[in-house]
Amino acid sequence: MQPLILTPSAFSDAAAAGMVLEEAWRQHRQVGLGALEDRDDLRRALGLGDGLSPRGLQMGAAVVVGSGGSSGRRRWCVQPLSHLEASAKATGRWLQAQGVDPSSCLHLNALPLHHVSGLMPLVRCRQWGAQLRWLPPSLLRRPAQLAAALPLDDPHTKPVLLSLVPTLLRRFLADPIALDWLRRCRVIWVGGAPLEARDASVARRSGLPISPCYGATETAAMVCALTPEQFLAGTQGCGHPLHDVDLRLDPASSALEVHCQRLSPGWLKDGQLVPLPQPQPGWWRSGDGAKLTAGGLQILGRLDGAIHSGGETLFLEMLEARLTAEAEAAGLGLQKLMLLGVPDQVWGERLVALLQTVPGTSPADLIGGLQRLVVRWRPAERPRQWQHCPELAVNCQGKWERHYWRQWLQARELLSPARPSQS
């Protein structure tokens, strides 16, 4: 049977799209999930483009979902329904270990169905027998109105589960009414991008049951999660792996490697399956640098976001989080910060900082304050150029598109010439 392309935004609501998806699964069809603007790209990936003939993969019910993976490149990842169900089962066991009966939960879905974290609430509730409630995007933009439209019971009466990306969490943290609403959740999984230190600090002070987690489309979503109790106690990272997952590090690059039975069989390109590269059978190497500690997994940053400067490997996300936390503690008025690596004859690569101020803060004062903070940092870690950028923003997935901002600098001829820097 020919694959189905489903663009949930074309439906009146997510629930209607979910019903179409479930019917396709009952027919054992493959379903390509994407935004409206992805439709042509999806058609080609599925082999439905001009001059291509649909081949159809012999795997029964499955989805094809866009993934930047942790590689930063757009791919169309295949996940059989059986893998999604295995992921839901593992998450259910994780909840049971926290004393939560999955079947008794209300699972709120705030994320798009064509992202794996927005797809999984449907699969989980379908398997657990739990209640699912889709949250309208219009109310997510006005969290106080969402709280009024959907009052929540005490979390011990009916446990409420919610998945958020950091940008959505930040929107809720800024509104006292929405913040009180979040307190009524039993578990708030946060993933898809690093949780910034200042957001984690606000969440802890507010007593929010945050569970930072890690996963990818290639692993059928979550592979490890920190319990809310550990988070509130100050533990860092993404916790320990779920029961069906093993983790290890590539000794050469510190890349995180994942072993589980729910790895994607591969990516689709022009109707052909490109198998997932595996360093050993059953293992997938992510694009994230990591370390494994007694407290669990800690993500250092994307390897494609790491640079080599002065003979050292620098993880830009880690440095951004560190400098943002120090700037907040010093009250410097920093709104956003992104670091880039640019070629340098002396250092190999040097750091450039793009920043956005809190309204009312002088860019010159902020830059001066940040320069004073990094004086005690190692030489390779100190940005050699600082650029105020009022329009600085993450993409819709809450991630930096560093290539775009590097081009932004170049187009405006804002990169200063490479020159020797004092240590």
Give the 3-state secondary structure of 53-65. Answer: CCCCCCCCCEEEE
CB 317 within 8 A of CB 289: no
Q: How far apart are CA 169 and CA 182, in angstroms?
A: 9
Instruction: Tell me what pLDDT residue 418 has.
Output: 52
Q: Is the pLDDT of residue 155 over 70?
A: no
Q: 4-302 maps to which CATH number?
A: 3.40.50.12780
Looking at per-residue pLDDT, the higher value among 12 and 260 belongs to 260
Tokens for 66, please give them.
């866009």
Q: What are phi and psi of 39, to 5 degrees?
A: -55, -45
Closest-CA residue to 62 (of 96, 27, 89, 12): 27
Closest-CA residue to 150 (of 138, 168, 166): 138
- Tell me which DSSP letter residue 194 carries: P
Strands across the sheet containing 131-134: 131-134, 106-109, 160-164, 187-190, 210-216, 221-225, 240-241
Tokens for 56, please give them.
């159809």
Q: How far is CA 407 from the centre of its chain?
A: 24
Q: Where are the beta strands (DSSP E) in 129-220?
A: 131-134, 160-164, 187-190, 210-216
CB 207 within 8 A of CB 183: yes
Q: pLDDT digit string (tens) for 194-211?
A: 888 889 999 999 999 999
Q: pLDDT digit string (tens) for 290-340?
A: 999 998 999 988 887 788 887 777 889 889 989 999 999 999 999 999 999
Q: How far apart are CA 193 and CA 214, in angstroms?
A: 9
Helix spans in 129-175 (H): 137-140, 143-149, 166-173
Q: In sequence order, what are the beta bridge partners of 215?
A: 222
Which secondary structure element, helix H or strand E, spans residue 7, and what is its range? none
Instruction: Tell me what pLDDT residue 28 has.
Output: 93
72 — pLDDT class (breaks 50, 70, 90): very low
Q: pLDDT digit string (tens) for 26-66?
A: 999 999 999 888 888 899 898 886 544 445 456 789 999 99
Q: Is the pLDDT of residue 70 over 50?
A: no
Same fold flag, 4-302 and 310-411: no
Residue reference for tokens 């396709």: 24
Q: How far apart are CA 340 and CA 220, in angstroms?
A: 31
Tokens for 255, please give them.
């890349």
Q: pLDDT digit string (tens) for 268-294?
A: 988 889 999 899 999 999 989 999 999
Write down the domain spans for the chain. 4-302, 310-411
- Three-class SS of residue 184? coil
The yes or no reply on domain 310-411 and CATH 3.40.470.10 is no
CB 79 within 8 A of CB 217: yes
Sequence-separated contacts (24+) of 166-169 with Cβ below 8 Å: 166/190, 166/192, 166/193, 166/194, 166/195, 166/196, 166/199, 166/398, 167/193, 167/394, 167/398, 168/110, 168/140, 168/398, 169/195, 169/199, 169/203, 169/210
Q: Calculate the alpha carbon distances from 189 to 81, 195, 221, 250, 347 in Å.
A: 22, 11, 12, 27, 39
Instruction: Tell me what pLDDT residue 90 has.
Output: 98
Instruction: Tell me what pLDDT residue 52 has.
Output: 43
Tell me the average pLDDT across 151-161. Answer: 83
Tokens for 221, please give them.
């979503």
Tell me the average pLDDT across 248-265. Answer: 95
